[in-house]
Structure 1
């Protein structure tokens, strides 16, 4: 078994694709419309789907926003430099909701951004300890 993708429902597919590609540097891997179901799927990631876990953006035609609820947490992206990643998001017009710095219960450097639909993205350094 392996983890294939995480799906997020988005209210504006073009805006979300632009954020994940232009601000976070992912590639649009594939996109397909399903007229009978009135939705469009877009798959994005940092590598091909055969070897990497990717992000699936689902746009349900005519739905512009969703209640994110209180159970969802965040997407985590490993980066070489958390401070530079946060600055890159700001320079690209993205929103940083927690500036880069040590997490409140340890020394791992993290930052949080928010995508156009309000989903949180954590940046965590390459040198974090996996337990």
Structure 2
């Protein structure tokens, strides 16, 4: 078994695709509308195929906000240069909400970025 994708609901499909592709550098694998179900799906990721571990962005037509609740934590991305990555994200208009530095009670260097929907993306120095 392997993880294929994680689905998150988004408020604005175009803004979400821009964030994940232009700011985080993922590929857009597909985007499809489902008029009968009144929703749209897009798959983004870093691999060569959506089954290489992607994020499914789901937009429910007419829905402009979601309660993110307190159960979901974050999506984590490994990066080679966390300081440079955070600078690039900020220069492209992304929001770094925790600057790079050691995690609490540890030495792993992490940072957090917020996507346009309020989801947290953890960057981990590799």
TM-score over 0.5 for the alignment?
yes
The list of structure 1 runs, each at least 4 consecutive aligned residues, that deviate by more than 2 angstroms after superposition, is 48-51
TM-score normalised over the length of structure 1: 0.93
Unaligned runs of at least 5 residues, structure 1:
127-131
RMSD of aligned alpha carbons: 1.0
TM-score normalised over the length of structure 2: 0.97
Deviations 1:24-61 (A, max 9, x none): 00010011110000000000000133661000000000
Structure 1 contact 4–49 (Cα < 8 Å) conserved: no
Seen in structure 2, the aligned counterparts of structure 1 residues 50 and 5 have a Cα distance that, compared at 3 Å, is closer
Match of 1:120 in 2: 120
Residue 48 of structure 1 aligns to a residue whose secondary structure is: coil
Match of 2:40 in 1: 40
Deviation at 1:84, TM superposition (A): 1.1
- Greater shift, 16-25 or 45-54, is seen at 45-54
Deviations 1:95-121 (A, max 9, x none): 011000011111100000000000000
Seen in structure 2, the aligned counterparts of structure 1 residues 50 and 69 have a Cα distance that, compared at 3 Å, is closer
Match of 1:129 in 2: none
Unaligned runs of at least 5 residues, structure 2:
none
